Amino acid sequence: MSSPPPANFHKTELHRALTEQTTSISHFHLIDPDPDSARTSCDAEVRTLEGKTVCITLSSRGYSVKSDEEEQEVFETIEGLLGTISPAYTKDRQQALVEALNKLL
């Protein structure tokens, strides 16, 4: 039986993951968790490059977009989720890759 994650694990990990994406998203801020769910998940409001604002949740299952739907698609990585909801994110990441590869030439 595994022990539960530290109280701030999800918050720390979500902040780290989104901070790594700051050039490919417009803005994000963490939403203070409900004390009862602090050990199991954390939410962040994220504004995409298109200007769309979504609430992203990190739980032990992975990353998902918070919605009223019961079944939510869960992603192993923040990159996978952002690539699905933001075409501009995908384009920006591809451009960054091309620029990095061109520097190697």
CATH number of the domain where residue 87 is located: 3.30.2280.10
Distances (CA, A) of 77 to 2, 64, 66: 22, 10, 15
Domain count, the chain: 1
Please, what sign has the CA dihedral across residues 29, 54, 24, 64?
positive
pLDDT in tens, 27-40: 999 997 666 655 78
Q: CB–CB of 78/18 below 8 Å?
A: yes
| Predicted local confidence at residue 1, as pLDDT | 45
> Among residues of the chain, what percentage have pLDDT more than 90?
59
Q: Tell me if 3 is assigned to some domain.
A: no
Q: What predicted TM-score, i.e. pTM, was given to this entire model? A: 0.81
- Predicted confidence band at 66 (pLDDT cuts at 50, 70, 90)? confident
Q: Residue 96: which residues within 8 A CB-CB, separation 6 or more?
A: 23, 24
Q: Tell me if 4 is assigned to some domain.
A: no
